[in-house]
Amino acid sequence: MPGSESGPTGTPRTPAVAAVRRLARALVALMVLSGVLMVAPAAHAEADRIDSLDIAYRVDRQGVLHVRETFVWRFGTDSGRHGIQRMLITREPDPDTGGDIVYTIEDFAVTSPDPSIPTTVTPITDGGPLSRTRSTTYRIGDPDIRVSDDTATYVISYRVRGAMRHSAGYDELYWDATGFDNPGIDQVSITAAVPGGAQDLRCYAGPVGSRTTCDDARRRTGQATFVHNDLPAADGITIGVKLAAGSVTDNAPHLQPRAGLGAVAGSRAVAVPGGIALLLAALIPIIALFGVRRFGRDQRYADLAPGSVPDDAAGARVERATAELEVPVRFSPPDAPAAQAGMLTAGSFEARHSAAALIASAVAGAIKIWTRYENQRGFTAELVDREKASSAEQKALLDELFPDDEPVGTAHRVSSRGAMAAAHTAAGKAARADGMWRGWYLMPPASGSGISGGLVAGLVIAGLLFVAAVVVTVLWLTGMVPTAFPVQLCFAALPLLALAVTAVLVRRRLRAGRRTARGRAICDQALGFQQYLATAEAEHLRFEEGHDIYSQYLPWAVAFDLAGRWHKICAALVEQGRLPDATPSWFASGSDEAIDFRAFNVATFASTMTGASEPLPRTGGGWFSGSSSTSGTGAGSSGSSFSSGGGFSGGGGGGGGSSSW
């Protein structure tokens, strides 16, 4: 039919159908082409490769292996082109002895026939003191320079101690020449010159354990030569060269004890400084304890009962108070302010001592204490006559509560939290100063906890240094810190921490101060009177009729934390009719009904002073990791390529690999 086309079966088809089919074929072709283009970059990516590796070995009479390696390196498309890295095994386990074989690398140097190729060497160790397998990676090149050519030639030279082995009747160089962590190598050529000439030789190529021989291995005028072509990536070459027995002096592997904590602790580099650090850390608290026992005790009058003061105190014999003596009960208070006597016995100026000073001031007529609350949870101090305050801490307390410009009749709330904080601090400072003036202390009690901010800061710093030292030591042991790091410096943190902790403990131990013989005697008198208040019963008390024994002894009871008991004893005296059932003259209540003895709840007053004396709370707004998968592959210190079992690839000493960066 005109104007139409026929298909393969002769079926007519219109031009429109043909056009659709041509479009479909074009789309398919475009998709295929796109896929090819997308895959093309990956297909053309090339890995690093070594065009040739020439190795020249020379063993001298001392058994030192001299190495010269010439790499012709072809950089891959993914290479950084800064240079190459040569990794050499320096330690590997020895299955024959259970110890470790150590290879010492010396005088590692790199040159290049092309002066534009950077040959700076940066050694990087892999494996810490606990690692049995260790290596050193020598990074060759410059991070700021890229090699522009496709290939670069590097000539590497170094010496190895501990490379030789010895078997019955002969010495041997059994050596993993290339290592097993390299890119593919087109051609490897090796020569080995040994004292007395090579007696026999072996060469194996392939993965670890392979017994495939090299392409060529022969002796030429006593020198061993080996050649192998097309060595795949991750395969290696191991050579064996037999020497006559006694050809070299150092003909055995260098063995060291199995790496581990025991070996590290026993090494001189760790044992000596570590032992010194432990010794100092132990001596510091021992010396401090001796010093505290020797010089931190109170004095006491010799040959006198506790609490006795000689008539001639200046000429009396004084000794250290080495033991606590039984203090006799005292039926009257000592000649000292109640608050200071409480500080003498407690070893610190506490909230109850400020409360005792406040009540003593009220009893003396300097202030009046009153409350307007039925539950007596709120107390107020009213200034009456500040001149009647008799002791240093009472005066300091009133001066802080009532500044000089405040007239008589001024009243301040003293029971709310923090209301007495400044007054308490001032009273404590005055009490300590007055105690020193009275000759009661060689060293006064410390304020607060006795631990200064500087001491706390020192302890924190020492603790942080110790933690940092432990972390660095662990990193050093695991190889994350270079083995050349002077880890001995970390040991200094232990005695520093011991010193800081000891200083804190000593300061806490001495926070009570040191009493002179006179201060110790007054303290014993106070303890004797405290024992009396703690054990006396109402019927045993003897006092003159009309005498206000309740008010007289109340500051002492508060200072000794016996306020509740003293109140009960005096309540019993009221019931017996020996004390009047009346409110103390220095106290006033807002309630018309509260006019009897029980109007002043001293226990409540003493407890509120604790919170009032506390200040208000403040308000306010990478390391190079190396190739951990590469390890020594040797068959052991007694292995030989000439033994009955034969040698194999990876059975020798040494090893390592190479890569670009």
pLDDT at res. 72 = 97
- In angstroms, rounded to a whole number, what is the distance separating the alpha carbons of residues 613 and 355? 9
Residues 317 and 397 both lie in one domain: yes
- In angstroms, rounded to a whole number, what is the distance separating the alpha carbons of residues 177 and 55? 8
**To the nearest whole number, what is the mean pLDDT of the chain?**
83
Q: Name every residue whose Cβ is closer than 8 Å to that of residue 462 and which is 6 or more positions away in sequence.
A: 493, 496, 497, 499, 500, 501
Number of domains composing the chain: 3
Q: Please give the sequence-ordered ranges of beta strands (E in DSSP) within 130-269, or none if there are none.
A: 134-141, 151-161, 164-167, 170-176, 185-193, 200-206, 216-220, 223-231, 236-244, 254-256
* Tokens 């020594």 sit on residue: 632
Q: Which pairing describes strands 65-74 and 49-59: parallel, antiparallel, or unpaired?
A: antiparallel
Quick: pLDDT tens for 585-611.
Answer: 898 876 555 556 666 777 778 777 777
Quick: pLDDT tens for 363-418.
Answer: 999 999 988 655 556 889 999 999 999 999 999 999 999 998 889 999 988 888 88
- Please check whether residue 496 lies inside any domain of the structure: yes
Which tokens hold the place of 623? 């390391």
DSSP string over 36-57 = HHHHHHHHH----EEEEEEEEE
pLDDT at res. 24 = 55
Q: Cα 338 to chain center, whole Å?
A: 48
Residues 498 and 578 both lie in one domain: no
- Kind and range of the H or E element at 563? helix 563-575
Residues 149 and 242 both lie in one domain: yes
SS3 514: strand
Please, which residues bridge with residue 400 across strands? Answer: none
- Please check whether residue 202 lies inside any domain of the structure: yes
Residues 489 and 368 both lie in one domain: no
Quick: pLDDT tens for 352-371.
Answer: 999 999 999 999 999 999 88
Which of 376-380, 428-432, 645-649 is modeled with the greatest confidence? 428-432
- Please check whether residue 622 lies inside any domain of the structure: no
Residues 395 and 515 both lie in one domain: yes
Residues 428 and 478 both lie in one domain: no
- In angstroms, rounded to a whole number, what is the distance separating the alpha carbons of residues 638 and 525? 85
Computed from CA positions of residues 346, 349, 351, 355, in that sequence, does the dihedral angle turn out positive or negative?
positive
Which of 92-106, 449-463, 521-535, 550-564 has the weakest average pLDDT? 449-463
Residues 438 and 405 both lie in one domain: yes
- Please check whether residue 42 lies inside any domain of the structure: no
Kindly state the DSSP code that residue 242 receives in the 8-state scheme. E
If we measure between CA atoms, which residue out of 438, 415, 419, 401 comes closest to residue 313?
A: 438
- In angstroms, rounded to a whole number, what is the distance separating the alpha carbons of residues 455 and 476? 31
More confident residue, 531 or 492: 531
* Tokens 């000493």 sit on residue: 653
Q: Measured at the alpha carbon of residue 437, what is the angle toward residues 436 and 442, in degrees to the nearest 5?
A: 30
Residues 242 and 302 both lie in one domain: no
In this model, does residue 4 exceed pLDDT 60? no
Residues 365 and 232 both lie in one domain: no
- Please check whether residue 114 lies inside any domain of the structure: yes
Q: Measured at the alpha carbon of residue 76, what is the angle toward residues 74 and 78, in degrees to the nearest 5?
A: 150
- In angstroms, rounded to a whole number, what is the distance separating the alpha carbons of residues 63 and 166? 11
Question: pLDDT tier at 532 (50, 70, 90 boundaries)?
Answer: very high
Which of 253-267, 411-425, 457-471, 628-642 is modeled with the greatest confidence? 411-425
Question: Which amino acid is residue 112, in one-letter code?
Answer: S
Q: How deeply is 224 buried, as exposed, middle or buried, from its count of CB atoms within 10 A (0-12, 13-18, 19+)?
A: buried
Quick: pLDDT tens for 169-212.
Answer: 999 999 999 999 999 999 999 999 999 999 999 999 999 999 99
pLDDT at res. 466 = 76
Residues 232 and 366 both lie in one domain: no
Residue ranges making up the domain that contains 383: 296-450+511-612
- Please check whether residue 181 lies inside any domain of the structure: yes
In this structure, are residues 300 and 520 in contact, taking their beta carbons and an 8 Å threshold? Answer: yes
- Please check whether residue 555 lies inside any domain of the structure: yes
In this model, does residue 8 exceed pLDDT 50? no
- Please check whether residue 520 lies inside any domain of the structure: yes
Residues 303 and 352 both lie in one domain: yes
- In angstroms, rounded to a whole number, what is the distance separating the alpha carbons of residues 625 and 390? 77
Quick: pLDDT tens for 469-518.
Answer: 777 777 766 666 666 567 777 778 888 888 888 888 887 777 788 899 99
Residues 415 and 339 both lie in one domain: yes
* Tokens 């403040």 sit on residue: 618
Q: Looking at residue 241, which CATH number applies to its domain?
A: 2.60.40
Which tokens hold the place of 30? 């475009």
